[in-house]
Amino acid sequence: MADLKRLDQSLFNQVAQQARQRDRLRCNHNLHQETDAVQRFLNVLQPGTYVRPHRHCREQKGSGFECFLVLQGAIGLLVLNEDGVLLEKEILRADGPVKGIELAENQFHTLVALEPDSVIFELKQGPYQPSLDKDFIASFPSEGTLEARQQELHWRAMFTDS
C-alpha cells in the first residue's frame, strides 16, 4: 500500500478545530520531519491570530524563501521593510484571483486571517531550527499582549476597508 498523506476536508476541519481552541488561534499540521531538507505543512489561522512580523534568513543564499498557497478561506499578507513600514498588501483567497505567493528571503512579512478556518499550505527550506527560523521586527509587540491584539485588529481593518 502506498504511503500517502491526504490533504482533505476532514483534515482541514480537524486542524481548524484545534486552531479555534488554542490561545494563538492557529495550528500547524506538519507533513515533514524537523530534520527534512524541505518544510511542508498546513497552517490554519483564525481571525484574531497575531503573527509578529518576521523574515526568514538562511546561510545558503536564496534558501530563505517562503511559499504560501491558500487552500480554504482568505489571508491578508503584509510585506514590510526593516522599520515596519508597509511596502505591499495582498489578499490571498482560495476562491480568488491570487491564491498563493512566494516571498524571497529577507522579506519581512505578517499574515492576517480574514476568514474563519483559513488553511494555508506552506513550503520553505528546512531543516526546521526554532532558534534560527525567524528574525522579528523588534518594534512590533510580542505575541499574547494587548498591544499585539490591537495591532492585529488594525491590520485586519486594513483589508476590510479596501
Mean pLDDT of 106-114: 96
Pick from 1-5, 137-141, 156-160: least confident: 1-5
What local confidence, expressed as pLDDT, does residue 127 receive? 77
Mean residue pLDDT of the chain comes to 92
What local confidence, expressed as pLDDT, does residue 135 receive? 87
Cα 137 to Cα 139: distance, rounded to the nearest angstrom: 6
Residue 51's identity, in one-letter code, is V
Q: Which positions ≥6 away from 114 have C-beta within 8 Å?
A: 47, 73, 74, 75, 76, 91, 156, 159, 160
How many CA atoms, within 13 angstroms, populate the side-chain half-sphere of residue 46? 16
pTM beyond 0.75: the answer is yes
- In this prediction, residue 162 has a pLDDT band, given cuts at 50, 70 and 90, of low
Dump the DSSP string for 90-141. EEEETTSS--EEEEPTT-EEEEEE-STTEEEEEEEESS--TTTS-EE-TTSP
